[in-house]
Structure 1
């Protein structure tokens, strides 16, 4: 059975800006691949074999693609699925998309004389922290160059919300969601499972902290404290980014405690500007552009 070590390395023991339910689904899907049985998370379906293969191979495929759709002078950039630092596809493939692809598409739209405005069509639970905030800064700093609008179709959670917040305006459908401004890091302790299976792992290392967070030993208190410090620092960066982008107090953003907000509740808290169906939001943008 293939163990998908590359996929595991991108999910466990690294900070993620992802809706917790999505994180649980991925963790559950991967657990069986490690021979340690199912992780008992409620709800959700495992990743398809195609998605698992794509995750392991880093997203390579043979599709030739244009970077975005151009509709009446508006570049519509698809931001959907789980977000990762790098992918080789300019559009979402097998449920995933790289920040590098979004950056490429966004810069191409900025430099395209036929583009008068940019709309990010977002439906994502979030994803990896790495690469997210640099992209959010780029979009925020480009506001004066061309109008930018985040059209949620349906949700923008966590890292996806960080990107949405960088746009000048955000619209959300009645049943869509915003928020989850937080960071999560999942650690798996397989030591008991290994012991029950009759395996003993000896880790030979140079440097006392070299093996911190390994799956073959229980997580030590000092290692947990260090990881928590890193997560807290990234969480504060997330709060500061959203506060700047949305012109909100950092205390207001922090006080949400990574809560998600449905439809109008996101507008009320300041995480979105209007409740609109995606097609209505696009027509409104075209009307504003004249």
Structure 2
């Protein structure tokens, strides 16, 4: 196993579309070690690794990022979502937008596939690459049925992906929502002062290295970073509103809240307009098969 400290650069000091409590768990997990992700050649074919147990018996040229069950392609969307993982399937608790895109396009053009299911259980993840993928899925509506079936939750970036599908199915205690953007800026300057450590930053350009962890964040820098977060947040809201046929104000008024399948003191996911039905995953999958049989 090899440590990957560069992952911190993907998660700190940049916009994320992830539920905040899950973000803390992800940050804590950076101390753990990760293995080598799936690799691809320049022509797009997968490089099968010797220790890839989930590709056993599959030839490299035949490898796909989805399973076909009774004409339905199931694309797993699990764990933290990242822009580039180099894997067609979830790996080390992450799923890459690059893998989802490749699998989705293959399934869309696969003559044996009649419908596509995004099998989602994710707290969200990176903003980079998210909305281009959401638009791709949204524009594919009408070519084949595209359903989002949640095995548990689809929060933030994961919900953006779900909203691009024709229909969303959430289990009774599963969750959707957290339609917002978060950015966690670290400031270790006081700790460095306490330890007698000084970091000298030589910059060309007044705004260079704004938000770095070695200096306290100025009000001006905070304002500029907040403006960037607001732009991403407005894009998130307008995208979900378009996908779900809702008014942007209705999405904005949710204030990034999360909603379960079953209503309680608050409306449930269906009542609020963020899901189409409350069903267990197997029940939702059978409903899709029944629809295909009836067509």
**TM-score for both structures, normalised by structure 1:** 0.89
Alignment partner, residue 16 of structure 2: 16
Tell me the alpha carbon deviations over residues 83-104 of structure 1, each in whole angstroms, 9 at most, x when there is no partner: 0000111110111011010000
Please give the alpha-carbon distance, in whole angstroms, between the structure 2 residues aligned to 1:247 and 1:277.
Answer: 24
How many Å separate the matches in 2 of 1:7 and 1:98? 13
Residue 171 of structure 1, CA deviation:
0.3
Structure 1 residue aligned with 2:198 = 200
Q: Report the equivalent of 1:222.
A: 220
- Residue pair 2:83, 2:126 contacting (<8 A) in 1 also: yes
The 3-state SS of whatever aligns with 2:6 is helix
Does 2:286 align with 1:283? yes
Aligned length: 268
**Residue number in structure 2 paired with 1:80:** 78
Gaps of 5+ in 2: 40-47, 56-62, 263-267
In 2, distance between residues paired with 1:58 and 1:130? 19
1:53 counterpart residue number:
34
After superposition, the C-alpha distances for 1:20-77 in whole angstroms (9 at most, x for unaligned) are: 01111223444xx6xxxxxxxxxxxxxxx3xx424xx666683345310000000010
Given the superposition, is the C-alpha separation of residues 114 and 4 from structure 1 closer, same or farther in structure 2, using an over 3 Å criterion? closer
> Of 261, 265, 271, which residue of structure 1 is paired with 2:274?
271
Q: Map 1:1-290 to 2 at 5 A.
A: 4-30=4-30, 49=32, 52-54=33-35, 62=49, 63=52, 64=55, 65-264=63-262, 265-290=268-293
Q: TM-score, normalised by structure 2?
A: 0.87
Partner of 1:40: none
Q: Find the aligned partners of 2:11 and 2:146 in 1 and give their Cα distance.
A: 31
Which is helix-richer, 1 or 2?
Answer: 1
Deviations, residues 123-165 of structure 1 (Å, cap 9, x unaligned): 0000000011000000000011111000001100000000000
Give the distance between the partners of 2:289 and 2:91, measured in 1 at CA.
Answer: 28
State the alpha-carbon separation in 2 of the partners of residues 126 and 259 from structure 1.
14
